Chain A
Amino acid sequence: MMDEATRMAAAEYVLGTLPAEEREHFAERMVREPNLAAAVAAMETRLAPLAASLPEEAPPPELWRKLAASLDEGGASAIPAAPASPSSGKGPAGGAQGAEIVSLRRRLAIWRGSALATGALAAGLALAVILRPDFFVPPPTQGEETDRYVAVVDAEGRQPAMVVTVDTAAGTVSVRSLSAQVPDDHSLELWYVGGGGAPRSIGVLEEREEAKTLRVGASELATIADAAIAVSVEPPGGSPTGTATGPVIYQGKLVPEPR
């Protein structure tokens, strides 16, 4: 049990009202005293809803690029690069610089009438699309890494549960589930929606499958700037009809941001 003075210092540290010098001392104390740090963490969690309820403010898009660059500087030697996802030949490190947000739109229109399993899926699933942009934009000036585009659909404040990487150079689409939410007895089917034609299936993420690389034809990549990728819930193995039969849970339009 901590004494009253320490407890008050902890509370004021969490609130932020400790004067600069005392604050510094208190922070040093926390490093030495795990119990104190734990008490502070508990208080921080109690008050967090006040901060979590603030309306979001979008940071400038270039901030991620700066952050990624400082990760590279700070960690290039000390921290090994992230392992490439099992399915993706392209590791994330090379493209980490210069991500831009692509606008993605969540599609709920045909969501009604979904089965229970897919309802649970929809609640937690959002989609991130990562695109290598060298297809859209002139090659960067020499010395720069090529960029890629990232978007996380968080309409309604939802979180990403799946990352889709479109590598236009290699002609592949990599799908990686971050929370393994392909429901029992269902598959997720990815669709390429572009060029005004009917959606074409890119491939299927089976029940409990975590990652997969799918090939995309050159003709499809040629129109990818106008395309969208959609994900539907299907019977195991994918749609029996060649068109989406289950609810389309996400549709992401791939629009590169102008520089």
Chain B
Amino acid sequence: MQEKPLQDNQVLTTLLERAGRRDRVAFEALYRTVAGKLFAVQLRILDDRSLAEETLQEAFLKIWERASSYERSAGAPLAWMIAIARNTAIDRLRSKEERLGKKSITETKTGEDILQFLADGARGADPLEAKALRHCLDGLETQARETVVLAYCYGFSREELAQRYARPIGTIKTWLHRSLKTLFQCLEGG
């Protein structure tokens, strides 16, 4: 059966707004619905289950606290919650000197699998937004695309990207800025 993301959005929005009015049943339903997504996002970034469990709780506490300030104009509810989950995980990652002995991640990951998920028609993602993102990522050079995906999905820092591509950090920063500029120009251009 065909997905109906708009309808799903409406349901998520309803749940989120009810959670904002301190409706615990709605919040629990919200948790049951999106926890798997948010956990997946954080797990990729942190590469550590117990740490991701902590940040998942932290993210949901923030969602509970901020639900009343969620506005439909701020974007789709899933994107809003994903941002909270990602930022929580990245804050945690950056508060560490290094990745808990998970150096191998910078050597092995390419992000190809994630681009494939996106290409497969992401379930849960807004199809129009997903299409635009796919199109604009495709417009980047291979390496530029890879740096964006690795940073976004695996939480690669500038240092880790520098290590990965054996380039100075300054070069990486320049790459990132160039890639992001092109990417957002494309995305905002529609």
- The verdict on B8 contacting chain A, using a C-beta distance below 8 Å, is yes
A81 and B23 alpha carbons, distance in the complex (Å): 8
For A146-180 the 0/1 string (1 means CB < 8 A from B) is: 00001110101111110101000000000010110
A97 and B158 alpha carbons, distance in the complex (Å): 42
Check B64–A71 contact: CB distance below 8 A. Answer: yes
Check A93–B24 contact: CB distance below 8 A. Answer: yes
Check B79–A52 contact: CB distance below 8 A. Answer: yes
Which residues of the other chain, A, contact B14 by a CB distance below 8 angstroms? Answer: 178-179
A152 and B3 alpha carbons, distance in the complex (Å): 17
For A123-146 the 0/1 string (1 means CB < 8 A from B) is: 110001010000000000000000
Q: How far is the CB of A15 from chain B (nearest CB, A)?
A: 5
Check B75–A54 contact: CB distance below 8 A. Answer: no
Which residues of the other chain, B, contact A123 by a CB distance below 8 angstroms? Answer: 1-2, 4, 7
Which residues of the other chain, A, contact B18 by a CB distance below 8 angstroms? Answer: 178
Which residues of the other chain, B, contact A152 by a CB distance below 8 angstroms? Answer: 29, 32-33
Q: How far is the CB of B94 from chain A (nearest CB, A)?
A: 4
A53 in contact with B28 given A23-B91, A70-B61, A124-B7 (CB within 8 Å): no
Check B86–A51 contact: CB distance below 8 A. Answer: yes
Which residues of the other chain, B, contact A41 by a CB distance below 8 angstroms? Answer: 74-75, 80, 83
Check B10–A124 contact: CB distance below 8 A. Answer: yes
- The verdict on B105 contacting chain A, using a C-beta distance below 8 Å, is no
Which residues of the other chain, A, contact B53 by a CB distance below 8 angstroms? Answer: 59-60, 63
Check B36–A163 contact: CB distance below 8 A. Answer: no
- The verdict on A12 contacting chain B, using a C-beta distance below 8 Å, is yes
Within 8 A of B (CB), among A21-50: 23, 38, 41-50
Task: Please tell me the number of chain B residues within 8 Å of chain A, measured between CB atoms.
Answer: 83
Q: How far is the CB of B160 from chain A (nearest CB, A)?
A: 9
Q: In the complex, which residue of chain A has the Cβ closest to the Cβ of B19?
A: A82
Q: How far is the CB of B12 from chain A (nearest CB, A)?
A: 6
Which residues of the other chain, B, contact A75 by a CB distance below 8 angstroms? Answer: 64
Q: How far is the CB of B109 from chain A (nearest CB, A)?
A: 13
Q: How far is the CB of A144 from chain B (nearest CB, A)?
A: 18
Which residues of the other chain, B, contact A20 by a CB distance below 8 angstroms? Answer: 94-95
A176 in contact with B25 given A49-B130, A51-B86, A124-B4 (CB within 8 Å): yes
A159 in contact with B129 given A44-B79, A150-B28, A178-B29 (CB within 8 Å): no
16 inter-chain pairs at a CB distance below 8 angstroms, sorted by A residue, are A11-B177, A23-B91, A38-B74, A48-B82, A50-B152, A52-B125, A55-B117, A59-B56, A71-B24, A71-B61, A123-B7, A124-B11, A152-B33, A176-B25, A178-B14, A178-B18
Q: A46-B188, A57-B40, A178-B15 are in contact. List 15 more A-B contacts (CB 8 A).
A: A15-B180, A16-B157, A23-B91, A41-B75, A45-B75, A47-B152, A48-B79, A51-B37, A58-B36, A59-B35, A64-B35, A71-B24, A83-B22, A124-B7, A128-B32
